[in-house]
Structure 1
Amino acid sequence: MTAIPDSTPSSRTTILPIQVHFGDCDPAGIVFFPNFSRWMDASSFEFFMLCGVPPWRELEAARGIIGTPLLEIHTRFLRPASYGDRLEVHTSVAEWRAKTFVQRHRIVRGDDLLCEGSEVRAFCTRDATGRLKAVPVPEDIRALCS
């Protein structure tokens, strides 16, 4: 996984390499669509790690932040992928909001865009009853990712 500057100054872009395996595909040899969501979720986590954000377990112990649960997802599929393909998931934050952020993912094979998605996520803690509660986006984390 590598980090590269994004064309928009508000976010970094990270790249997660993916090797498509036979088991990622349906009987027709095409990547089963939920795998794209799985790869975007993995790239979301790796984005924060690569930007220097401590792992969620450490953040929970130090600040009560349990991670960034997914609130909404939109995905657009443009081309299929198959086993043997080498893909990259390009991930950045498209928009920071008060308690949520929009993360953008572009899955490519070489110069070909196969899939793009956006996710709305929130930094969360647990209240006294154990229920998840969105908290304001921590400024230090936002700075690390910008």
Structure 2
Amino acid sequence: MRTYRYQRRLHWSECDPGGIVFFPNYARWMVDGLNEMLLSLGIDPNAMVDDKTRGGLPVVQLSMRFFDAPLLHMQLCHEISVEKIGGKSITFVHRFLRGESLLMEAHETRVWATHLLGDATSMQANRVPDNVRELLTTESAQ
């Protein structure tokens, strides 16, 4: 399965008064990192499907485990791995590391979905497209 990695610095605006990352920022980084991973593969799950329908990749399950706290200005590695691709869902593992030291690990499951513009209640899960499945099961060259 595919793995994607990138480096990021912990900024002052992402910390609590003690200089430790404010934990909800991990969720934001996970969304941003996953978006970069998918876009780097030419996948835009939020693209327009037609003139009335937009795609989406909503989270249906999320768990986070914290092992150590990064500090202000620390350089972190965010590693995203595809763990499983089901019929309509994809499970990702996010790991944040300082060198080889694991700081946080999260497992998230998202569904491949569409919804009518202006009607978020019309969200509907769809089969993960074959081209997406193929791109996400191919080993990365990193």
Aligned to 1:66: 55
TM-score (norm 1): 0.83
Q: 2:135 aligns with which of 118, 126, 144?
A: 144
- Is contact 1:103–1:120 with CA below 8 Å preserved after alignment? yes
**CA offsets 1:66-96 (integer angstroms, 9 cap, x no match):** 1211111000000001111011110011001
Q: Extract unaligned runs of 5+ from structure 1.
A: 1-10
Q: 1:22 aligns with which of 12, 24, 35?
A: 12
Code of the residue aligned with 2:22 in structure 1: it is F
Matched residue SS, 2:55: coil
CA distance in 2, matches of 1:47, 1:86: 19
Distance 1:100 1:55, change over 3 A: closer
Higher relative contact order (CA 8 A, sep 6+): 2
Aligned to 2:111: 122
The structure where helix makes up a greater share of residues is: 1
Matched residue SS, 1:66: strand
- Is contact 1:108–1:114 with CA below 8 Å preserved after alignment? yes
CA distance in 1, matches of 2:40, 2:135: 10
Q: Extract unaligned runs of 5+ from structure 2.
A: 138-142
CA distance in 2, matches of 1:137, 1:96: 8
Give the drift of 1:55. 6.3
TM-score (norm 2): 0.85
Matched residue SS, 2:133: helix
CA distance in 2, matches of 1:55, 1:133: 13
- Is contact 2:89–2:110 with CA below 8 Å preserved after alignment? yes
Matched residue SS, 1:141: helix
Distance 1:89 1:33, change over 3 A: same
| Dislocated runs of 4+, deviation >4 Å | none
Give the drift of 1:42. 1.1
CA distance in 2, matches of 1:65, 1:145: 21
Q: 1:113 aligns with which of 82, 98, 102?
A: 102
Aligned to 1:42: 32
